[in-house]
Structure 1
Amino acid sequence: MSDAKAPAPTQGLTDSEIAPLQARYGRNEIVHDTRFRGLRILVRQFTSVLVVVLIVAMAAAFAMGEIVDAAAIGIVVVMNALLGFAQEWRTDNAIKSLRRMLSPTAHVIRGGQEKSIPATELVPGDLVLIEQGSRIPADMTLIEHAGLQVDESALSGESDHVDKTAGLGEPNLFMGTTVTTGRGKAIVTAIGALTKFGQIAGLTSTISERPTVLQIQMARLAMQIAILAVVIAGATVAIGYFTGRDLFVMVMTGLSLAVSLVPEGLPVVLTISLTLGATAMARQKALVRQLQAVETLGAATVICTDKTGTLTENRMTAVRIWTLGAEYQVTGTGSDPAGHITRNGRKCRAADDPELANLLETALLCNNARLEQAQNTWAMFGSPTEGALVTLAYKGWATLPTPERLVAENPFSSERKRMSMLVRTDDSFALHAKGAPEHILSVCNSAVIDQKTYPLDDELRSKIMASYHQMAENGLRVIGLAARAAQDGDTEERDMIFQGLVGLIDPPRPEVGAAIQACRAAGIQVIMITGDGPTTARAIAQQLGLPARIALTGAELEDMTDADLTEVLGRDVLFARTTPAHKLRIVTALQARGETVAMTGDGVNDAPALKRADIGIAMGQRGTDVARDSSDLVLLDDNFATIVGAIAQGRRQFENISKFARYLLSSNAGEAVALFGAILMGLPLIFLPSQILWINLVTDGISAVALGLEKAEPGQMQDPPRGRNATILGRTGLWMILLLGAYTGGASIWIFQSLLAEGEIIARTTTFTALVIFELAAVFAFRSFRVPCTSLGWLSNRYLFLAVLLGLGTQLAAIYWPPLQLLLRTQPIGWEHWQLVGLFTLPLIIVPELIKAILASRARSGKAAPAA
């Protein structure tokens, strides 16, 4: 521990100095090469297995002189590529917009005022404040520090923490590295591309974004279907050829069959759905850093949450002081020091009470927070706990320390649960300490009672701990304070004199109680993990309605075997006096039980647990840069209720993904059944390749996207979480695909065969139209797998209704508009044909509604649960 200083500016840059520097050096960011970005996205539309098959088909048709077919396939391929390009471009921009919201901030001193600014606005010469957990925003020279260590593994690849010393020489803090211990001040020397990190940025620009787990699963499913399609198409060509059919016709039929089986729109619709979900979460103050977190959140079975600031308001206020000789009450709330301290009903100040004066002096000196007044309001800079102690000292009219008195600091750590400051007092020195009462008592050997010092025997220790527990049982967070005389350089925390306890209240957030009950209704276990003592943790849990029959401390956790821990996690438990290492072990044990774990964290040492959890959740307001960078989700308001809202959104997104995946595959199955069945029956070609492409474009591209916008179903948060191995389709989905595919395919064959006597073109046009109408009508069956549309409201998803109308409009154009008639080889159909189509369409609307109505009725009567 040391504090080294060198002559340096203390007021920072002025406003008049900043503008010229910004004009000269630009923004503090590393701009990646975005040239040809649009071209790369467009080219990517032509690289999928399906599109390659279509291009081959187009070339084959052109070579055989079928110019109209070749043109039709070419137009649809281009249209599909343009649609995919537009969707990917918008998705890419949406993701970049969300990431910009995570742009780090820098704490600077400008014109003598401390302020937070976007790190991109830093300029050389800025005076920056850094502390534990900060991400270094630019290359800088350290000018003042207290026990500063930096993790430079982002640059060097070595994980050892590097000690930093102050001086006005070469830069010794580098962009992208992380402060792991201590705090300090530094002057910016280089920004953006001129930093050491910026010089190797060319390497990072070549790193592609990793696809999400869900995208990989869906792409694998699409590939498996594509392989199946090619095999079936090849068999169809072979069967047709050896039974005497024209080779060209069979090749085109095989290609049509392959096209009908492959859900080409699935990956794009998936990405759009996840991005829309991420955008919706951002509006609810939950910022998604990894797209897979959108749907993974919906599977969460356990939420491990911090207490302070997440379950509580993080507005600490000191309300009680206890010493071995007296008790004090404190009035006032928040950071406003307008309240006062009373003893036996009388106001008292530090000048009139030596014991109170000594305690308040430690509260002020062993502190890094500041209280400032501006325009009749008080602003606190620093941690809420330290800020509450500063406000307390103001209420007691304690003497404010000068910065020159602070000589050295032992920073707070999650392992020691305390901090201390070495302070110069005239010609002498004193060491002041504060922290968790039991950790403060562990370094004390005496105590003050009525201005006299007594050895700290077992009786006094018991009395102190009893008072501590009594305050904690009332829901107070308790801080112990101690001090001793010292020498220059004497910073060892030993032989301290115990001064007293301060009780602080951090009221629970009013909305958290209801959020916890919502979790319980949804089958989600909530586990509080806090650094506070077990008594305080129990009191807060009781106020929030959080069941916690067992309260384990970090020390007790360390004595447990993995088997014992796994067993106790199945009960109502909370953890107190824990360290980040304990969090990691808890997450690992929960995952060993098969749980899907969401874990909150805000500190540097929380990063391993956040990475290990299925969903790492960092605090946006009080979290460190390291915690945010290690997370999947950032809470912009640090509120537990926001997590519950994000889980509801995640469940909605997963359900919608399942809906449109089943819908797309059932639609394509119907096309495949119709094509293959007609071939086996020796019928003419039931659909032309251009018509198959048209069907997929109308249904897959528009209706599926609209289905992905479906609102959350009633009662969705009363269902248990889905299993870790739950699939997108599920057994019910496979049955839906088979049954609907068989019906729509069989109905298409019947219509085609019954109309052949009127001519092949009219039969094909009617069947082509029927299949489009079938798929547009069937989409309503997929809006919910248990709730009828009569309950949801037929028009409640206006996007889906508009998509169906658009699909109907385009199909009318396909059979009545001459240019499309020529392209798709159709001709107008009469009223009798529409009646036939309508007759086969009605069951697709009525039957699913009846089945869901019966299941819903049985569920309400308690006979059975609705099937999904």
Structure 2
Amino acid sequence: MSIDNFEITGLTDEQVLQSRASYGQNKLVFEKENRFLDALRSLAKEPMVILLLVASVIYFASGDYGDGIFLAIAIVMVASISLYQDSRSRDALQKLKDFTQPHSKVYRNGEVIEIKSEELVVGDSLIVDEGSTIPADGTIIHSNDFSVNESILTGESLSVYKDVTNDDSCIYLGTTVASGLAIATITAIGNNTALGKIGKSLEDIESEKTPLELQIGNFVKKMVFWGAMVFLVVWGINYAQSLDLLDSLLKALTLAMSILPEEIPVAFTTFMALGAWRLMKLGVVVKQMKTVETLGSATVICTDKTGTITQNKMSLARVYVLGAEKITNPEQELSTEEKELLRLAMWASEPIPFDPMELALHESYAQNFPLDERPDYKMVHEYPLGGKPPMMTHLFENSSGNRIIAAKGAPEAFLDISNLTEVEKDVISNTIIDLARNGYRILGVGEAEFDGDKYPKKQQQFTFSFKGLVAFYDPPKENIASVFEHFHEAGITVKIVTGDNAETTEAIAKQVNFRGYKKSISGDDLMKLQDDELQECVKETQIFTRMFPDAKMRIINALKANNEVVVMTGDGVNDGPALKAAHIGVAMGKKGTEIAKQAASLILVDDDLAKMVDAIAMGRKIYTNLKKAIQYVISIHIPIILTVFIPLALGWLYPNIFTPVHVILLELIMGPTCSIIYENEPMEKNTMIQKPRPFSKTFFSWRELMTSVIQGLAITAGTLTVYQLAVSNYFTENTTRAMVFTTLIAANIFLTLVNRSFYFSALTTLKYKNNLVGLIIGITVALTGVLLYIDPFTAFFQFESLTSDQLWTSIGIGFISVIWYELVKAIKRSR
């Protein structure tokens, strides 16, 4: 029965434009703060900006206008870089938000189309079904077994059944469809809806910070604290020696600037936002940043069968009538009894079908019955899909009082509620096994008779006459075998969790070379296990059949108790709790309900599990590159801090080798390196053949942190060696400063190249495709040349142009202070 049978025409394009002109767009609009001003306010609280501002004011106060102007320009540059990165992150997240905007089905110009929910207009004929979130207010004009959860408005958690006969036959924006289907005429959109009038907006909910974000925030706060402590100590020492308040304050500010790792929070935000945007371009929508963090740790994927492993293209494959001695292919000539079985199966389906099996049954009915009875009958009662095993029953009646009571569902559901002999039960069971071995999905079909209008409370209270079986074939996706192999190579275990029976699931699993297809457990058997037994069971079992929501939850909790990081795929209303409970809930973009999409943290746009391989690879890459960036920041900050502090603390010949001007110059050169180069790094070739990284509360292991510290100390040793060489050769302070600065810049460039991988050699990573490496290094080299060899800049920064020997000595020592780590990597590879 198509929607045409309800004589719904929908709006024309002209009527849509008129309605939009009168009532506007379907958006909730609330007063929001200016994002640019928010970013500026946030920037004004940054410790580095505050330090720069103070230093600039001190320079101006002491009459050193050149340095004061430079630091004022530096403030603008730091602010511009921060605002640019913030803008990139916001743009990426806005694109993500636009991409995840919900869609709605409406009837326009005589056909059903799908549009963005914000394009709905008053007067539209809206179709909503199980699992969808209602996008506007409307009045029901047709419904099948329709119930709605209105807790967002009423606070009542129980679903409310609604139809045209209800006193309140309206649907409301923000509520969710718990069951059935309805067609409604839209009466209010946007702020004029019930939800809009009471001013609730899901956008107003502030997102919580992720564990990694908190770790990085705490790290930066600690550095700020220690920077403040060292600042006070150095200020006190300098003031005690010189009794010059402003000069001692500037020297202390120099050290404080060198300690602050302000690049780290910027790098985190940039990596996560752009990472989510890159995933979106792959067809994977990430709803929460913490998902990007967790992806690289996934150890187990629990996947549905239908539509995930298979194509979700249900075609009617076989028909079996009870009492017949054959199973028939529906493409052959069907007997009268077989046609009657298909007719009954159609009546047991929804009048407006949306499930692939029901669509196939309606199509088969249309092919076998030229005279369409559907417009003559009206549904008078319905029992939704329910029970264990599940079934559903529909009651139709025509104007003459003829009644049809048809049911379909899991064949096992009929065995105890039908008048079947033991022999017939055995025949049915054997037929089910024969069909399931071919990978068919099987439904039992039954018919009942009932007089009167006081229907039983439960459909199982009818006495059914079991009519036969209809079997559907949903072929596996062509790429699914290779997808499973990729997961296996990445050290990730795949488990099939399905509502289908064991035989059908095993047959499909065998067809795609799924590992562990021979061992399975049913939902009922699983529920009988104790927690410790279940934990052992989920280790050894890869296929879980006849699953229901409670059983799925137990599987996820048992896997989590085994310290697994669990990915759960789902598409239905009942998958919501399991999707929320998993570390990463994955909803299907096409066949997934809105409730599933809301509960999930990630959406596969094309329902393609292969995209999860890409997502996990991207998650591993983002996490690895972020670690590289932060390790780089730690390594390069240590020599700046110690080069400023040690000559001052030990009373060397040139104690103030760097001023705030030099420190901020180094910061401006290094900042783009970590945020731009490392964010754009490609995935290393061994990324997806490694085991998932441990899911822990610590971002860095002790070994990783010590690697960065040792690298930083080695660079410090190099810069201080150059310092002492210059002093021992009686070079001037400006020449010494220029040599130390050049050594740091050279070390920075070589560290960038060496740390592109902590396993492969720099010669290997030079082949990686990252055009920004050459660009940023080229700019750095050119800028250094300008500072050293163009007089106005050389004089301003208190440098001296270096001779070729001085230049190559600085570059060479900078190279040696970094390149030693290549030997460490070579030892790693040899092991």
Same fold (TM over 0.5): yes
Q: Is the 8 A contact 1:308 1:314 kept in 2?
A: yes
Which residue matches 1:682?
A: 651
Q: Which residue does 1:483 correspond to in 2?
A: 447
3-state secondary structure, aligned to 1:784: coil
SS in 2 for 1:45: helix
In 1, the alpha carbon distance for the partners of 2:10 and 2:224 equals 63
C-alpha distance 57-444 of structure 1, shift in aligned 2 (>3 A): farther
CA distance in 2: counterparts of 1:628 and 1:67, whole angstroms: 58
Query: Which whole-Å deviations, capped at 9, do the CAs of 1:707-752 have from their partners, x for residues lacking one?
Result: 1211111121111111111633322322222212112112222222
**Alpha-carbon displacement from aligned partner over 1:514-534 (angstroms, at most 9, x marks no partner):** 111111121111111001001
Extract unaligned runs of 5+ from structure 2. none
Query: Is 706-715 or 730-739 further displaced after alignment?
Result: 730-739
Q: Secondary structure, in 3 states, of the residue corresponding to 1:341?
A: coil
Counterpart in the other structure of 1:334: none
Q: Report what 1:575 is aligned to.
A: 544
Task: Work out which of the residue numbers 407, 411, 432 in structure 2 matches 1:433.
Answer: 407
The 8 Å contact of residues 661 and 729 in structure 1, kept in 2 or not, is answered as no
Name 2:711's counterpart in structure 1. Answer: 740
Partner of 2:357: 385
Residue 165 of structure 1 aligns to a residue whose secondary structure is coil
* Residues 22 and 123 in structure 1, CA contact (< 8 A), matched pair in contact too: yes
Counterpart amino acid of residue 406 in structure 2: H
Contact 2:388 2:413 in 1 (8 A): no
CA contact (8 A) 2:211 2:697 kept: no
User: In structure 1, what is the Cα distance between the partners aligned to 2:734 and 2:756?
Assistant: 34
Residue 202 of structure 1, CA deviation: 6.5
Matched ranges for 1:335-350 at <5 A: 341-342=331-332, 347-348=333-334
Paired residue for 1:448?
A: none
8 Å contact from structure 2 (residues 213, 268) kept in 1: yes
Q: d(CA) in 2 for partners of 1:109 and 1:847?
A: 69
SS of residue paired to 2:449:
strand
Cα distance in 1 between the residues matched to 2:394 and 2:162? 19
2:761 is the counterpart of 1:788: yes
Secondary structure of the 1:427 match is coil
* 8 Å Cα contact 2:389/2:412 also seen in 1: no
In the other structure, the counterpart of 1:377 is none
Q: Distance in 1 between matches of 2:169 and 2:66?
A: 69
> What secondary structure, in the 3-state scheme, does the structure 1 residue paired with 2:465 have?
strand
Match of 1:749 among 720, 735, 739: 720
Which one is further off, 246-255 or 74-83?
Answer: 246-255
Secondary structure of 1:412 counterpart? strand
| Counterpart AA for 1:623 | G
Which residue number in structure 2 is paired with residue 543 of structure 1? 511
Write the distance in 2 (CA, Å) between the matches of 1:163 and 1:395. 34
Q: Deviations over 1:664-717 (max 9, x none)?
A: 111111111212222232122121111111111111233442112111111211
1:310 paired to 2:274:
no
Which one of 702, 705, 709 corresponds to residue 676 of structure 2?
705
8 Å Cα contact 1:484/1:497 also seen in 2: yes
CA deviations over 1:643-678 (Å, ceiling 9, x no partner):
111111111111101110100111111111212222
Return the letter of the residue paired with 1:358: E
Q: Distance in 2 between matches of 1:814 and 1:417?
A: 77
Alpha-carbon distance in 1 for matches of 2:533, 2:337: 46
* CA-CA distance at 1:509 after TM superposition: 0.9
Aligned residue number for residue 14 of structure 1: 12
- Structure 2 distance, partners of 1:799, 1:327, is 71
- CA deviations on 1:18-63 (whole Å, 9 max, x unpaired) are 2211222221112344562212212212212333333333334444
- The TM-score normalised by the length of structure 2 is 0.93
For residues 199 and 689 of structure 2, the distance between their equivalents in structure 1, rounded to whole angstroms, comes to 48
Give the superposition deviation at 1:69.
3.3
Q: How far apart in 2 are the matches of 1:224 and 1:798?
A: 35
CA RMSD of aligned residues (A): 2.4
Deviations 1:199-220 (A, max 9, x none): 2346656544433332222122
Are 1:515 and 1:640, in contact at CA under 8 Å, matched by a contact in 2? Answer: yes
* 1:331-372 alpha-carbon deviations (Å, 9 max, x no partner): 6xxxxxxxx532xxxx23xxxx332132111122122376xx
Percent identical among aligned pairs is: 30
Alignment of 1:768-779 (within 5 A): 768-779=741-752
Residue of structure 2 equivalent to 1:50: 48
Shift of 1:821: 4.1
| Selected match of 1:523 from 491, 511, 517 | 491
Question: Amino acid of the residue matched to residue 498 of structure 2?
Answer: T
Aligned to 1:443: 417
Query: What displacement does 1:416 show?
Result: 5.4
SS in 2 for 1:360: helix
Q: 1:814 to 1:399 in 2, by over 3 A?
A: farther
| Corresponding letter in the other structure for 2:70 | A
What is the distance in 2 between the residues matched to 1:128 and 1:416? 33
Aligned length: 817
Cα distance change, pair 442–711 in 1 and its aligned pair in 2 (3 A): farther
**Does the 8 A contact of 2:521 with 2:541 survive in 1?**
no
Q: CA deviation at 1:467?
A: 1.0
Take 2:300 and 2:111, find their aligned partners in 1: how far apart are those partners? 43
User: Where does residue 478 of structure 2 map in the other structure?
Assistant: 510
Q: Deviations over 1:572-613 (max 9, x none)?
A: 321111112222222122111111111111112212211121
- Tell me, in whole angstroms, the C-alpha distance in 1 between the residues paired with 2:56 and 2:552: 58
Any idea what SS the aligned residue of 2:198 has? helix
What letter is aligned with 2:719?
S
Q: What's the counterpart of residue 164 of structure 1?
A: 162
Q: Which amino acid aligns with 1:697?
A: L
2:820 aligned counterpart, secondary structure: helix
Match of 2:739 among 723, 742, 766: 766
Q: Which 5+ residue runs of structure 1 have no aligned equivalent?
A: 332-339, 371-380, 446-455, 859-863
Match of 1:366 in 2: 348
- 1:116-161 Cα distance to aligned partner (Å, 9 max, x none): 2211111111111111111101011122222222111222333222
Does the 8 Å CA contact 2:162/2:169 hold for their aligned counterparts?
Answer: no
Q: Matches of residues 52-451 of structure 1 in structure 2 within 5 Å?
A: 52-166=50-164, 172-201=170-199, 206-242=204-240, 247-326=245-324, 341-342=331-332, 347-348=333-334, 353-368=335-350, 382-397=354-369, 399-407=371-379, 408-413=381-386, 417-424=390-397, 426-445=400-419
Q: In the alignment, which residue of structure 2 is the partner of 1:838?
A: 811
| SS class of match (2:122) | coil
Q: 1:116, 1:15 → 2: CA distance?
A: 14
Equivalent-residue separation in structure 2 for 1:136 and 1:806 (angstroms) = 53
Check conservation: 2:25, 2:118, Cα contact below 8 A: yes
Give, in whole Å, the separation in 2 of the partners of 1:518 and 1:501. Answer: 37
Deviation at 1:845, TM superposition (A): 5.5
Whether the aligned pair in 2 keeps the contact of 1:521 and 1:717 (CA below 8 Å) is yes
**Judging changes above 3 Å, is the alpha-carbon distance between structure 1 residues 651 and 619 closer, same or farther for their aligned structure 2 residues?**
same
Q: Aligned partners of 1:773, 1:437: CA distance in 2, in Å?
A: 74
| Alpha-carbon distance in structure 2 between the residues aligned to 1:622 and 1:203 | 26
User: Which is worse superposed, 561-570 or 581-590?
Assistant: 581-590
Asked if structure 2 preserves the Cα contact closer than 8 Å seen for 1:142 and 1:168, the reply is: no
SS at match of 2:385: coil
Deviates more, 1:19-28 or 1:390-399: 390-399
- Contact persistence 2:267–2:674 (CA under 8 A): no
User: Does the C-alpha gap of structure 1 residues 369 and 80 become closer, same or farther in structure 2, counting only changes over 3 Å?
Assistant: farther
2:640 corresponds to which of 671, 681, 692 = 671
Q: How much has 1:88 moved relative to structure 2? A: 0.7
Offset, 1:788: 1.0
Q: Secondary structure at the match of 2:543?
A: strand
Q: So what's the TM-score if we normalise by structure 1?
A: 0.90
Residues 114 and 584 (structure 1 numbering): CA distance in 2 closer, same or farther, change over 3 Å?
Answer: same
Question: 1:229-288, CA deviations, whole angstroms, 9 ceiling, x for partnerless residues?
Answer: 222333333344455685544432322222212211111122221222222212221111
Report the CA distance between 1:823 and its aligned residue.
5.0
Residue number in structure 2 paired with 1:466: 430
Bigger shift: 751-760 or 771-780?
751-760
Question: 1:801 maps to which residue?
Answer: 774
